[in-house]
Amino acid sequence: MEDRFMRLGFVKRILPPLIAFMVFIGGWQLIVGLLNLPVYLVPKPSDIVSAAWLNKGDLWVSVSTTAIEAIVGFVLSVVLGVLGAILLASSKLIEKSVYPYAIILQTIPIVAVAPLIVIWFDAGMNAIVIIAFLIGFFPMLSNTLIGLNATDHNMSNLFYLYNANPFQTMWKLRIPAALPYIIAGLKISCTLCVIGAIVGEYIAGIGGDKGGLGYAITNAAARLKTAYLFACGLSASVLGIGFFLLVNAFSKWVLSSWHESEMSRES
């Protein structure tokens, strides 16, 4: 009986967006076909699928390249963001001295900083990874810092009464308590790093067989290959959604046994 209710709940969650998607795609296909619009202006969904299939080799290389760049940038943003937040949370003096500059760094448009990154690190993978890292870094730093500073005062006082040193308090109390905030930062940063990698490819990317989605989009737009342009854009979206779903699965694995945000609720 319980399995039946779970399957019914799953169908209720999946069916409405699936129907909406089918109506949208069907309407798009029908309207563009009836208006007889040229493919280079507004392609039909069937044209996009066909373009993706005909260029599947190049598309796969582009997606793989962008995925690698985004993953490396994401890992750097997570490691340095969490370590930076721990450092700031360890001392109010350091936090007040350094955190405003992190905010300033976040407010500078990445397109203004990217040319400097290209000059310093040359065009290619290194520059793109750094751009992806810069976009994903601040959400990790900010969310982790909020979580570390939101530790329950009663628990902090208890650790103080038991003569816990700052390292023990940080490792055994503050970091576990900040996990929901850290994972919230992961969910934001993982998608931003995909965007950062594509933006980096526009500015610092390399073309040819090693080009990522940013280069493929630019090349398709210049040649008016609109159907393939749509295919590249949708591939970037799918890549971001895939990263988010992986982080969301990690969130459920880590938090489902103890935190309200991921615990299953009885209807």
CB of 44 closer than 8 Å to CB of 26: no
What is the chain's mean pLDDT, rounded?
A: 88
User: What's the confidence (pLDDT) of residue 51?
Assistant: 94
Q: What is the pTM (predicted TM-score) of this model?
A: 0.88
User: What's the confidence (pLDDT) of residue 18?
Assistant: 86
Rounded CA separation 219/221 (Å): 5
User: What's the confidence (pLDDT) of residue 205?
Assistant: 67
Chain-centre distance for alpha carbon 112:
21
User: What's the confidence (pLDDT) of residue 5?
Assistant: 52
Domains in the chain with CATH codes: 59-255 (1.10.3720.10)
User: What's the confidence (pLDDT) of residue 10?
Assistant: 60
Q: Looking at the chain, which runs of residues are DSSP E strands?
A: none
User: What's the confidence (pLDDT) of residue 148?
Assistant: 94
Report residues of the chain scoring pLDDT below 70: 1-11, 205-209, 259-267
| R_g (Cα) of the chain, nearest Å | 23
Residue 20 tokens read as 């909406």
Q: Rounded to whole angstroms, what are the CA distances from 113 to 65, 110, 120, 263, 264?
A: 22, 5, 11, 42, 44
User: What's the confidence (pLDDT) of residue 140?
Assistant: 95
Residues in CB range of 39: below 8 A, 6 or more apart = 47, 226, 227
Residue 43 tokens read as 């392609």
User: What's the confidence (pLDDT) of residue 53?
Assistant: 95
User: What's the confidence (pLDDT) of residue 136?
Assistant: 94
CB of 67 closer than 8 Å to CB of 216: no
